[in-house]
Structure 1
């Protein structure tokens, strides 16, 4: 057990993010839900911290219990409270000084049941998807200080939604699983053949349930692998060669298309500073 401010949890530590000291907590194995990863963040900075999101192959729920604000620079949308962000989120940034935030990453399979469909790049209020239950859940979380208790409450809310939600087509789930296993290096035609669907049908059903086309989803999975390697300090040329890009220029184009920035900026992104702690591979 390690102390994180006034709360106690398993598997946490302090890291520096954009110059601010942030305590990161993760739930014990017993509190984890399949297809779901959770982490708690708590800290205070003298000046507001601005963090640009790096796209990740999961939909993310932010339950803000402090003063955080999420801004989508594509349309100027700013949201507080409980917010859902899609997988393609290169235009989204977070801002805040008093950080008290529960972050939940949902695999497409879990997200389909918990959140329903929707564009992979959308930034929406959780209330739009859960109704009054979103605010009730946030109020319960705000009344707790222990991250272990917060994880338990959120896990129960997610489990209820998973049980009641609509399951993804097994063919789409298979295609997604193969993409992840192959780290994005798989052809759509081959996936269609494996599930016995036409390429057109797989494309349509996958996009409806995941929020991205199969090709775009595979590109995002591959980019996530590359982003982690870049953040670990490896050169762009080496990362491109090891993660299936034609060359460094190809990696640069994909980084710009997916994250809206260069591999150099991805490598230095404060958003990735907590990944090894909060979201271990």
Structure 2
């Protein structure tokens, strides 16, 4: 477990590493305490990560970025896999902690409830029960961030010790999807499991909350974002010919028919074009702390941007 000396009341963001036995299921802890002078809006793109946010102060308003509706305000909230991006906004005052779980970890911790979270938001206490509300209170009154991370280790360690495992066939399907960045044909997955297409979809939804095709779309999007941002961050002198990665080259590399297919798919899931998404991250990177310097929530994944130019 990583430790930090930052007091619990100090502003900023603190990252915590879960205890070694939890790491197959818990990707990380993220503590935050913000006191900004103005509201902050973020675009959270689809990922293969489930998040449980524990709120100590402030609420977060959430709405779909692709099909906007009146935003709903939440305190502590478990967020399952979503195939479209989320607009998250708060007043500028926000204090809490978020836990990033793999889909397997969420199922082991919460059982079939993890599948029911797919595509939905809900107040955590209403979905996950009074034990989670009690944990939120204990976390809020802990003396520092390391103490909070230790509490989370204990809480999730106990859940994982007796929680259910994924069906082996679901695990195999997920492994094939991740290995191919979502490009393995669904027919291949049907043949590999010996299930019907309908049974595969039902079992996958029970475990992850989404159909295999939708989960594949998330993995392909994440691969696209990884390639896109890596090319953006590479110095011009390190690029062949000194040029940025073209839309056609990106599409070919990430399994889209052409650039038009890439743009349509990206906009359908994120709510803006790849060019607009990159522009938003560049603008955010130029802003002073703490409002700027967009920090992705999970190491190794592109998760966020501030809503400056995107959308």
Superposition TM-score tier, normalisation by shorter sequence? 0.7 to 0.9
Selected match of 2:13 from 5, 16, 23 = 23
User: What are the Cα deviations for residues 77-98 of structure 1, in whole angstroms up to 9, with x where unaligned?
Assistant: 4233210122215134132423
d(CA) in 2 for partners of 1:167, 1:32: 14
Name the structure 2 match of 1:6: 7
Once residues 139 and 276 of structure 2 are traced to their aligned partners in structure 1, the CA distance between those partners, rounded to angstroms, is 34
- Post-superposition Cα deviations, 1:200-256, rounded to whole Å, max 9, x if no partner, equal 321221122211111111111110121233334264614323222222211211112
Paired position in structure 1 for 2:27: 37
Is the 1:31–1:155 contact (alpha carbons within 8 Å) kept by the matching residues of 2? no
Does 1:80 find its partner at 2:74? Answer: yes
Which structure 2 segments of 5+ residues have no match? 233-243, 285-291, 302-311
How far 1:22 moved relative to its partner? 4.2
Indicate the SS of the match to 1:120. Answer: coil
Question: RMSD value over aligned CA atoms?
Answer: 2.8
Alignment of 1:53-72 (within 5 A): 53-72=44-63
Equivalent in 202, 208, 219 of residue 206 of structure 2: 208
Question: How is 1:176-195 mapped onto 2 (pairs within 5 angstroms)?
Answer: 176-195=174-193
Structure 1 residues 75 and 160, CA, compared in 2 at 3 Å: closer, same or farther?
farther
Q: CA deviation digits over 1:111-137, x for unaligned, max 9?
A: 223232215210011112221111111
1:103: which partner in 2?
98
* Equivalent position SS for 1:123: coil
Alignment of 1:1-281 (within 5 A): 5-6=6-7, 22-27=12-17, 30=20, 32-38=22-28, 39-73=30-64, 74-88=68-82, 89-115=84-110, 116=113, 117-232=115-230, 233=232, 235=245, 237=247, 238-267=249-278, 268-269=280-281, 273-275=294-296, 278-280=298-300
The verdict on how the C-alpha distance between 1:278 and 1:219 changes in structure 2, with shifts beyond 3 A counting, is closer
Q: Which runs of 5+ in 1 are unaligned?
A: 9-20
TM-score for both structures, normalised by structure 1:
0.83
SS state at 1:273 partner: coil
Higher share of residues assigned strand: 1
How far apart are the structure 2 equivalents of 1:34 and 1:53?
23
* Alpha-carbon contact 1:230-1:236 (below 8 Å) kept: no
Flag the 1:279–1:40 CA change in 2: closer, same or farther, 3 A.
farther
Displacement of 1:45 in angstroms is 2.0
Distance change in 2, residues 1:67/1:235 (3 Å): farther
Contact 2:3 2:146 in 1 (8 A): no
Mean CA deviation greater in 264-273 or 212-221: 264-273
Number of positions where the alignment pairs a residue of Structure 1 with one of Structure 2:
268
Q: Could you say which structure has the larger radius of gyration? A: 2
